[in-house]
Amino acid sequence: MLRTPFLIAARSTACRTAVERAPVTRGLVSRFVAGSTLEQALPVVERLAGDRYVTLDHLGEDVTEVAQAEATVAAYTRLLAELGRAGLGARAEVSVKLSAVGQFLPADGERIALENARRICAAAGRVGTTVTLDMEDHTTTDSTLSILRELRADFPSVGAVLQAYLHRTEADCRDLSHEARASGCARGPTTNRRPWPTGTRRRWTAPTCAA
């Protein structure tokens, strides 16, 4: 019930600016948001990547137009190219919300999201890093896992977030761990083939839980 108002607030420039600048929230934002631009985020990634693995997420889920989904793909491919140029491909990966690349579009949203995710995975592969699909509303679980399986046919290292509070998650985690790599939220089961990355957030940001 609260999802829609929160999403509306998240898209508001005025609301975002107020949260970033307010004394009560500024410290929290600076802890999780690496930067409002790629130029601001990359130095943070370089600093963190010295002693840990970093995951980045470009905020902007629930796109309603194909052009918005294309812009998200362009942002990720640019980020990944910059990570490659900086030699950070082995120390940083990206997390992608499928709704940000078209999953909820009224016409062929799932197909569009799959193709856009393929483009991001290909860009990640070119610089030697990986992609994790972030999980969103529980109603998208089947769609997200279906897209994941399609992607893994060509990109077997793609990971996925699982919602630890769902009864189905343990079974999903078992299935995914047999297929490739997966990990759960801190509140739920985890099966990893490598230590899960310590994240940094932006409007390049890291997921709160990952799988």
Whether 46 is covered by a domain: the verdict is yes
The count of residues in the chain is 211
Domain that holds residue 88: 33-179
Question: Taking a C-beta distance cutoff of 8 angstroms, is the pair 119, 148 a contact?
Answer: no
Q: Which residues are paired to 94 by β-bridges?
A: 56, 131
Mean pLDDT is highest, among 19-23, 47-51, 133-137, 146-150, for 146-150
- The conformation of residue 29, written as its DSSP 8-state character, comes to H
Cα 106 from Cα 99, distance rounded (Å): 12
Same domain, 133 and 86: yes
Specify the pLDDT at position 38.
84
Whether 47 is covered by a domain: the verdict is yes
Q: What is the pTM of this model?
A: 0.73
Whether 167 is covered by a domain: the verdict is yes
Whether 160 is covered by a domain: the verdict is yes
**Phi/psi class of residue 203: alpha, beta or left (left: φ > 0; alpha: ψ in -120 to 50)?**
alpha
Same domain, 110 and 68: yes
Whether 27 is covered by a domain: the verdict is yes
Same domain, 5 and 93: no
Higher per-residue confidence, 97 vs 21: 97
Q: Please tell me the total count of domains within the chain.
A: 2
Same domain, 86 and 129: yes
Cα 83 from Cα 119, distance rounded (Å): 16
Higher per-residue confidence, 85 vs 204: 85
Whether 76 is covered by a domain: the verdict is yes
pLDDT tens for 44-63 read 888 888 878 888 988 888 89
Which residue pairs from 112-115 have beta carbons closer than 8 angstroms and sit at least 24 positions apart in sequence? 112/66, 112/69, 113/69, 113/147, 114/147, 114/150, 114/151
Amino acid at 33: V
Same domain, 60 and 78: yes
**Phi/psi class of residue 162: alpha, beta or left (left: φ > 0; alpha: ψ in -120 to 50)?**
beta
Same domain, 25 and 39: no
Same domain, 7 and 20: yes
Tell me the mean pLDDT in the region 20-24: 53
pLDDT tens for 122-135 read 999 999 999 999 99
Amino acid at 32: F
> Predicted confidence band at 182 (pLDDT cuts at 50, 70, 90)?
very low
Which residue pairs from 13-18 have beta carbons closer than 8 angstroms and sit at least 24 positions apart in sequence? none
Which residues in 161-199 are b (16+ Cβ under 10 Å) and which e? bbbbeeeebeebbeebbeebbbbbbeebbbbeeeebbeb
Same domain, 43 and 96: yes
Whether 210 is covered by a domain: the verdict is no
Whether 209 is covered by a domain: the verdict is no
Give me the CATH number covering residue 169: 3.20.20.220
Mean pLDDT is highest, among 37-46, 117-126, 193-202, for 117-126
Same domain, 15 and 45: no
Same domain, 41 and 117: yes
Same domain, 104 and 170: yes
3-class secondary-structure state, position 162: coil
Same domain, 16 and 43: no
